[in-house]
């Protein structure tokens, strides 16, 4: 028969393991927020360059569909938004694939 003390020790050990898991989980979440924020910041200038590089595409959209996409000062705001969302989506999928690959 075990002593009552070993039961208390076991409870303390489990409690410390749970606390360590919570700390690690919080660290992973904070790192994830940092990575997501960095992806958003880096994607903005890339989206601007992609939008300008796709000027012929935006002109084609305007010609074929009649949607105002090229103005006198460059592409419309929605063109930048579409490019930004596409860059964010691609970057997020790449980050997700890298993160899941390392967990396997």
Residue 21 pLDDT more than 80? no
Give pTM, 2 decimals: 0.72
Q: Which residue has the higher pLDDT, 46 or 27?
A: 46
**pLDDT given for residue 82 in this prediction:** 97
Which two structure tokens, joined as six digits, stand for 21? 């898991």
Residue 30 pLDDT more than 50? yes
Are 64 and 71 contacting, i.e. CB atoms less than 8 angstroms apart? no
Residue 9 pLDDT more than 60? no
Which two structure tokens, joined as six digits, stand for 75? 């592409």
Which two structure tokens, joined as six digits, stand for 98? 């890298």
| ∠ Cα 80 39 103 (to 5°) | 140
Which two structure tokens, joined as six digits, stand for 36? 């997501």
């Amino acid at each position: 028969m075990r002593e009552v003390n070993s039961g208390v020790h076991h409870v303390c050990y489990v409690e410390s393991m749970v606390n360590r898991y919570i700390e690690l989980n919080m660290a992973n979440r904070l790192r994830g927020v940092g990575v997501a924020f960095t992806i958003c910041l880096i994607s903005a200038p890339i989206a601007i360059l992609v939008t300008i590089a796709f000027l012929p595409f935006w002109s084609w959209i305007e010609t074929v569909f009649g949607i105002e996409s090229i103005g006198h000062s460059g592409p419309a705001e929605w063109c930048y938004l579409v490019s930004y969302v596409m860059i964010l989506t691609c970057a997020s999928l790449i980050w997700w694939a890298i993160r899941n690959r390392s967990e396997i």
